[in-house]
Amino acid sequence: MSGKVTNDSGAGAGGEGDGGRELDAAFFARWMTEAADAIGREADRLTKLDSAIGDADHGGNMRRGFDAVRQELAEDVPATPGAVLMSSGRKLVSTVGGASGPLYGTLLRRTGKALGDAERVSGAELASALRTGIEAVAQLSGAAAGDKTMLDALLPAVDALEDSGGTNFAKARAAAERGAEETTPLQARKGRASYLGERSVGHQDPGATSAALLVAALAAAHGDSAGEDAGFGADEGE
The residues that touch other proteins, with contacts defined as CB under 8 A, are 55, 57, 61, 90, 93-94, 97-103, 105-106, 109, 140-141, 191-192
Taking the least distance from each CB to other proteins, the nearer of 120 and 192 is 192
Nearest CA among 19, 20, 39, 21 for reference residue 31: 39
Q: What is the dihedral of CA 226, 101, 180, 81, to 10 degrees?
A: 40
User: Whole-number minimum distance, CB 61 to other proteins, in Å?
Assistant: 8
Taking the least distance from each CB to other proteins, the nearer of 15 and 101 is 101
Taking the least distance from each CB to other proteins, the nearer of 11 and 93 is 93
User: Whole-number minimum distance, CB 201 to other proteins, in Å?
Assistant: 21
User: Whole-number minimum distance, CB 91 to other proteins, in Å?
Assistant: 10
User: Whole-number minimum distance, CB 85 to other proteins, in Å?
Assistant: 14
User: Whole-number minimum distance, CB 93 to other proteins, in Å?
Assistant: 5
Ordered alpha helix ranges (H), the chain: 25-53, 58-75, 81-95, 100-115, 123-141, 151-163, 169-181, 206-222
Nearest CA among 84, 142, 128 for reference residue 108: 84
Taking the least distance from each CB to other proteins, the nearer of 92 and 180 is 92
Q: Are 62 and 91 in contact (CB under 8 A)?
A: no
Taking the least distance from each CB to other proteins, the nearer of 27 and 66 is 66
d(CA 174, CA 109): 24
